[in-house]
Amino acid sequence: MKLLTIGQLAKKAGVATSLLRYYETKELLVPSGRTDAGYRLYPPEAEQDLRFIQRAQRLGFSLADIRRFMDGLGGTGLDDATVAETAERRYLEIERQLTELQVLQHELELFLLDFRHRMQQQGEEPGAGLYNQLVDRICDHGDHQHPTASSLEWLLERTGCSLATMDQPDILDVLRGRHVHVWREGDAYRILVPGHGEALQHALEEIARIESDCHAHSAPVLDHVDEGFVFVAKGERAFLFVQFFLALEGSGVGPR
């Protein structure tokens, strides 16, 4: 088995030797020995370990998380529950970030629609029709991506959200395919469900009741406004509540 010097390993992986030394201080990459001159030597599989570390970092795992993974690969007795917990925590964080981007998308739509409305009130057509084409394209929800039913259901169930056990198809049918507006104010998400009527109000009030005892996030507050109804959801995992409505909005996709 031919050992690699630190320079050879760094060249194979396309990184600086200083990075390998840094990983050594974190006990992620340990040389198997040294030359007579004191240069570090690594086994051939160190290249695979190095690429594993870099890939995990790109996915957002901390060095402490990666150390746990590598301990498991090294046969030091890392249990399955620890691996699952570490990976699941990162997955939930990515889902939260995706939700924030979806909320930002909705906020942009509201801004563009409001700007067009204000311009029309002043008797002007912004951009000689080009702006209208832009707004129509951006605010057309036919091609928007939303959380799939299966991934959303898994998220709700795994986090203990009360919506995971909701078995009222009549309530969901009222909301399925209905467009919503979502935006962020401070630490809260606001979900506007446009429209009125007893069926819509009953459906939203029932969801509010179900969520009143949710342990995954704080109970959302339902307000009646001129445009319809607004849910205000706060907490670290309030993004789950947002995804619930985005999934229902998207072409009839949603928990069933």
Express each pLDDT in 165-181 by its tens digit. Answer: 777 788 888 998 888 99
Quick count: other Cβ atoms within 10 Å of Cβ 132? 15
Asked whether the beta carbons of 194 and 209 are under 8 A apart, the reply is no
- Specify the pLDDT at position 17: 92
Q: Is 188 left (phi over 0), alpha (psi -120 to 50) or beta?
A: beta
Structural domain spans, the chain: 4-78, 90-249
pLDDT tens for each residue of 209-219: 988 887 777 88
Q: Where are the extended beta strands (E) located within 110-220?
A: 181-185, 188-194
Taking every pair of Cα atoms in the chain, the longest distance, rounded to a whole number of angstroms, is: 84
Global confidence as pTM: 0.62
Task: Give yes or no for residue 84 having a pLDDT over 70.
Answer: yes
User: Which CATH fold would you assign to the domain 4-78?
Assistant: Multidrug-efflux Transporter Regulator; Chain: A; Domain 2 (1.10.1660)
Average pLDDT over residues 201-205: 94
Quick count: other Cβ atoms within 10 Å of Cβ 164? 19
Is residue 66 very low, low, confident or very high in pLDDT (cuts 50, 70, 90)? very high
